[in-house]
């Protein structure tokens, strides 16, 4: 709900602040004092279009700021919108800070076709902030649809938009469980259809793909590639290509160690003989003598291995040619597929899987076709239940709204809920219906769309009647704050008191901001604000003051008779007492 509202340099609102409370907040004042400007400023908070001539004369920009408290039942949805838009959350999850800055467009300046921040060409340029982060008016409109519902002379977004009529009817009918079932059935149908589409395509393309996959798989399977094979081949090939060099090195090393004159074996043996003689004199040399014996043994072993290695080595041109061909095949296949050997081996399994999938396409198509038939039947059944529930609820809604409109001074009006098939696409996530509210303002007239037949005041009362119907059914719209402007147009007396009582009943569940000229409505306020226009220093200024008990009585007296006479004050006191009198649930004010 709107907790704090500040408007600066907004036409005649140079600097106006309101601390709004729970329940019913009422704005009263003389015509032209600036009440509708405050409503227009609130409309900007829900993403409304900004006009370039709004900034006060002499100011480059107008600013509208607000702190909006989010009711607990809306916090998850608001948080979801903020997260999806990449916008920060405020401290905690129960408040949203909104700021609109409307920039003045110089006289005669050409405006762009579309402002990058989301303003239309005929609107003024603006900057939009949510929780301190710059965003677009379109994002604010998405969030604002949850925070504020405005009914007035030019703003009836929640009522004249046919796209919301189905939601309204479903809320009245308590169709949430049926709607969830429909949504699940629709999603299952879409899932099956997506899988079917993935298996679709031209049959010739599928056969060509099968041939291509078979060719690749046969080529790779014929190659019989092994992990790490390329490294092993490189090593063996290098050995075969250097047989003579390796054999010569082995025999030369054996000669130095053992077979040649003055070999290492002979020198070690000579050293051992010297130590044998010396050890007779000094036994401490025995450990060294034993080490020389071990060295002799090691040299003998090494010489034997080198001799055996050299004897085994022999050239194998055929094996070398095979290794060259094998290595060339591996390199050709890895280049062709653009992957390494291990990835190429893994690709064999992937190719088999795709071949199996395509080869089993006909069987899978049959399975999916049966699944689609089941999903279509489930979705059609869920849609039929929804349609039946909506038709029953539509008749109840028409009856309840008709009774409420009669109490609100529109006895001749007739609201009709039209339920039609969706059109070319018979089913959707919300079922098979298109819903639109139609109105006949007078007896004998045909029903027509609300936008074509209802005035601002009538739309406000229709909205009020619909909200009353939702309340009567134990439900309420998913909006934090309702704003009513011109709800009192063309009414008075007992009807005005009924309107006030119904607004009061709505305010027991959601915050309401109401602009009114009628004391019968203002008397029901929880918080009463007086809007006054004055002249200061040759300029027009608007001031807003919250009224206490005595000031409220004086203001109601002024609204009753133009002057706060004793008789008018007494009448005002009666209105306040009547408005404060407890009523049974669902009861309205006494005529």
pLDDT digits (tens, 9 = 90+) for 100-159: 999 886 543 434 444 433 443 344 588 999 999 999 988 898 888 888 888 755 444 556
Based on the number of CB atoms within 10 Å of its own CB, is 241 exposed (0-12), middle (13-18) or buried (19 or more)?
Answer: middle
What percent of the chain has pLDDT above 90? 24
Say what the pLDDT of residue 583 is: 55
Which runs of E-coded beta strand occur in 413-522? 414-421, 433-440, 448-449, 481-485, 511-515
Name the band, by pLDDT with cuts 50, 70 and 90, for residue 203. Answer: low
What is the secondary structure of 291-304 as a DSSP string?
HHHHHHHHHHHHHH
Which runs of E-coded beta strand occur in 95-220? 95-103, 126-130, 133-135, 148-151
At residue 54, the 3 state secondary structure works out as: coil
Say what the pLDDT of residue 432 is: 92
110 Cβ neighbours under 8 A, 6+ residues apart: none
Question: Positive or negative, the Cα torsion across 126, 130, 135, 139?
Answer: negative
Please determine, for residue 548, whether its predicted confidence score (pLDDT) is greater than 90.
yes
Strand (E) or helix (H) holding 545: strand 539-546
End-to-end alpha-carbon separation of the chain, Å? 31
Token pair listed for 545? 């003051």
Name the band, by pLDDT with cuts 50, 70 and 90, for residue 50. Answer: confident
Say what the pLDDT of residue 200 is: 67
Strand (E) or helix (H) holding 154: none
Alpha-carbon gap, residue 205 to 211, rounded angstroms: 10
What percent of the chain has pLDDT above 70? 89
Please determine, for residue 250, whether its predicted confidence score (pLDDT) is greater than 60.
yes
Confirm if 470 and 172 have CB atoms less than 8 A apart.
Answer: yes
Closest CA to 358 of 205, 571, 538: 205
- For residues 352 and 115, which has the higher predicted lDDT (pLDDT)? 352
Confirm if 234 and 327 have CB atoms less than 8 A apart.
Answer: yes
Closest CA to 100 of 76, 122, 124: 124
Say what the pLDDT of residue 92 is: 67
Say what the pLDDT of residue 323 is: 84
207 Cβ neighbours under 8 A, 6+ residues apart: none
Say what the pLDDT of residue 204 is: 75
Please determine, for residue 223, whether its predicted confidence score (pLDDT) is greater than 70.
yes
| Strand-pair partners of 417 | 437
Alpha-carbon gap, residue 14 to 8, rounded angstroms: 5
Say what the pLDDT of residue 184 is: 94
Mean pLDDT across the stretch 85-111?
76
At residue 431, the 3 state secondary structure works out as: strand
Minimum mean pLDDT among 46-60, 109-123, 490-504: which range?
A: 109-123
From residue 114, give the alpha-carbon distance in Å to each of 117, 125, 157, 494.
Answer: 8, 9, 22, 49
Torsion angle of the four alpha carbons 339, 344, 350, 351, in this order, in degrees rounded to the nearest 10? 100
Please determine, for residue 547, whether its predicted confidence score (pLDDT) is greater than 80.
yes
Confirm if 530 and 555 have CB atoms less than 8 A apart.
Answer: yes
Torsions phi, psi of 246, nearest 5?
-65, -40
At residue 85, the 3 state secondary structure works out as: coil
**Which region holds residue 324: left if phi is over 0, alpha if psi is between -120 and 50, else beta?**
alpha
Token pair listed for 233? 């081949």
Say what the pLDDT of residue 282 is: 87
Based on the number of CB atoms within 10 Å of its own CB, is 392 exposed (0-12), middle (13-18) or buried (19 or more)?
Answer: exposed
Confirm if 420 and 165 have CB atoms less than 8 A apart.
Answer: no
Torsions phi, psi of 148, nearest 5?
-140, 130
Say what the pLDDT of residue 129 is: 94
Q: Which residue has the tokens 């007086």?
A: 530
Torsions phi, psi of 247, nearest 5?
-65, -45
| Strand-pair partners of 511 | 481
Alpha-carbon gap, residue 517 to 515, rounded angstroms: 7
Token pair listed for 461? 């009362």
Confirm if 137 and 114 have CB atoms less than 8 A apart.
Answer: no
Q: Which residue has the tokens 């969706």?
A: 422
Token pair listed for 135? 């965003």
Which runs of E-coded beta strand occur in 56-138? 61-69, 95-103, 126-130, 133-135
Give the side-chain half-sphere CA count within 13 A for 415: 34
Determine how many CB atoms are found less than 10 A away from the CB of residue 298. 12
Alpha-carbon gap, residue 253 to 50, rounded angstroms: 96
């Amino acid at each position: 709900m709107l907790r704090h509202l500040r408007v600066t340099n907004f036409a005649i609102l140079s600097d106006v602040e309101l601390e709004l409370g729970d329940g019913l907040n009422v704005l009263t004042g003389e015509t032209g004092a600036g009440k509708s400007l405050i409503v227009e400023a609130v409309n900007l908070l829900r993403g409304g279009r900004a006009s370039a001539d709004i900034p006060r004369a002499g100011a480059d920009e107008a600013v509208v700021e607000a702190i909006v408290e989010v009711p607990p039942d809306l916090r998850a949805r608001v948080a979801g919108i903020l997260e999806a838009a990449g916008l920060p959350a405020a401290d905690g999850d129960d408040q949203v800070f909104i700021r609109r800055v409307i920039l003045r467009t110089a006289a005669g300046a050409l405006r762009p076709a579309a402002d990058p921040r989301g303003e239309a060409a005929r609107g003024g340029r603006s900057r939009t902030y949510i929780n301190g982060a710059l965003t677009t008016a379109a994002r604010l409109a998405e969030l604002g649809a949850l925070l504020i519902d405005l009914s007035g002379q030019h703003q009836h977004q929640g009522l004249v938009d046919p796209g919301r009529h189905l939601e309204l009817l479903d809320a009245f009918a308590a169709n949430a469980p049926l709607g969830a079932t429909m949504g699940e059935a629709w999603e299952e149908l879409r899932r099956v259809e997506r899988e079917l589409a993935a298996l679709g395509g031209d049959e010739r393309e599928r056969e060509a793909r099968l041939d291509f996959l078979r060719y690749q798989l046969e080529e790779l399977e014929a190659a019989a590639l092994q992990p790490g094979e390329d490294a092993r081949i490189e090593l063996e090939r290098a050995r075969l290509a250097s047989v003579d060099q390796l054999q010569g090195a082995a025999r030369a090393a054996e000669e130095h160690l053992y077979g040649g004159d003055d070999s290492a074996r002979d020198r070690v043996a000579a050293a051992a003989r010297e130590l044998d003689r010396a050890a007779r004199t000094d036994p401490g040399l025995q450990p060294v003598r034993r080490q020389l014996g071990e060295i002799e043994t090691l040299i003998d072993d090494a010489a034997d291995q080198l001799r055996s290695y050299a004897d085994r080595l022999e050239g194998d041109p055929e094996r070398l040619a095979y290794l060259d061909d094998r290595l060339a095949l591996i390199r050709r296949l890895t280049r062709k597929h653009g992957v390494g050997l291990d990835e190429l081996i893994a690709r064999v399994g992937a190719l088999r899987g795709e071949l199996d999938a395509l080869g089993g396409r006909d069987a899978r198509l049959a399975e999916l076709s049966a699944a689609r038939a089941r999903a279509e039947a489930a979705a059609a059944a869920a849609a039929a239940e929804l349609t039946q529930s909506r038709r029953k609820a539509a008749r109840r809604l028409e009856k309840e709204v008709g009774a409420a409109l009669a109490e609100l001074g529109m006895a001749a009006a007739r609201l009709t809920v039209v339920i039609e098939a969706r059109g070319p696409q018979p089913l959707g996530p919300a079922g098979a219906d298109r819903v639109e509210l139609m109105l006949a303002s007078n007896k004998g007239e045909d029903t027509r769309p609300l936008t074509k037949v209802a005035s601002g005041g009538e739309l406000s009362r229709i909205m009020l009647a619909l909200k009353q119907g939702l309340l009567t059914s134990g439900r309420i719209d998913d909006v934090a704050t309702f704003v009513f402007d011109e709800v009192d147009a063309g009414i008075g007396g007992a009807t005005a008191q009924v309107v006030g009582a119904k607004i009061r009943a709505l305010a027991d569940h959601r915050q309401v901001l109401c602009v009114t000229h009628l004391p019968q409505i203002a008397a029901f306020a929880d918080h009463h604000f007086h809007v006054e226009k004055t002249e200061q220093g040759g300029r027009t200024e608007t001031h807003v003051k919250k009224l206490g008990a005595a000031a409220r009585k004086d203001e109601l007296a002024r609204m009753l008779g133009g002057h706060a006479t004793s008789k008018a004050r007494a009448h005002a006191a009666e209105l306040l007492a009547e408005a404060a009198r407890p009523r049974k649930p669902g009861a309205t004010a006494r005529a």
